[in-house]
Amino acid sequence: MIKLLMLGDSLVEWGDWSKHLPGVAVINRGIAGEMTEELSARLMDEIDDCPDPDAVLIQSGTNNLLMGYMFFPAIFTTMMQRLRLCYPQTPLILCSLTPMPIVSAPDIEQVNRELAQVAANLENCFFLDLVGPFTEQCLPITHPGFLNDNVHLSTRGYQVWAGAISRCLQELFQGHLPS
């Protein structure tokens, strides 16, 4: 069974990962309302608490973007470098922000480009772009990906995200469980 450390905000915290990612032991370290700089401040404690994950997934920035703070991707550069130092062989997965209807598409595109660049600059780090899957698989009326607040994920949204995570993990581990 793959042990996946998930770091982030309410989108991570509120996920029913045992339901959506069967066969993956998720260590859920999401904190609702948290900004990226707060995740950065607690990062070393999280690493100390989980010394040997098979993969690390990080999703943060939703709250920053909602507050109009567009410069948080710079914080990811140092966070991802610290994760790489502490987990030298562990695959790192950096999630894009979802296409939240409450935030302008150009702002989400800009931030996601910067996050993709952070991932590209780090060895064994993968950018998980969620915009495509959400755009293709979540339809506003019949299969909405978001709750009425247009930020938090619906069951469908979690299914889409979990599907993207599953595909990423299958690719990373090529159908073989880590030893």
The CATH number linked to 169 is 3.40.50.1110
pLDDT greater than 70 at residue 175: no
- Residue 147 or residue 85, greater confidence: 85
Determine what percent of the chain is predicted with pLDDT higher than 90.
Answer: 83
Residue 137 resides in a domain: yes
User: Parallel, antiparallel, or unpaired for β 55-59 and 92-95?
Assistant: parallel
Mean pLDDT along residues 72-93: 96
Alpha carbon 88 to chain centroid, angstroms = 19
Q: What is the pLDDT of residue 62?
A: 95
CA distance 159 to 164: 9
Helix, strand or coil, per DSSP, at residue 2: strand
179 domain-assigned: no
Say what the pLDDT of residue 71 is.
92
CA dist., res. 139 & res. 108, Å (int): 19
Residue 178 in domain: no
Indicate whether 116 belongs to any domain.
yes
Quick check: is 69 in a domain?
Answer: yes
Query: Does 159 map to a domain?
Result: yes
Share of the chain above pLDDT 70, in %: 97
Predicted confidence (pLDDT) per residue in 40-74, tens digit: 999 999 999 998 999 999 999 999 999 999 999 99
pTM above 0.75, yes or no: yes
40/147 Cα distance (integer angstroms): 27
Which of 32-36, 81-85, 138-142, 150-154 is least confident? 138-142
pLDDT band at 176 (very low <50, low <70, confident <90, very high): low
Q: Is the pLDDT of residue 140 over 80?
A: no
Total tally of structural domains belonging to the chain:
1
- Residue 3: which H helix or E strand, with range? strand 2-8
pLDDT at 145 over 60: yes
Please check whether residue 101 lies inside any domain of the structure.
yes
Give the model's pLDDT for residue 177: 56
Mean pLDDT of the chain: 93
Determine the 3-state secondary structure of 26 from DSSP: strand
- Identify the domain containing residue 37 by its residue range: 2-173
Among the residue ranges 53-57, 113-117, 151-155, the one predicted with the least confidence is 151-155
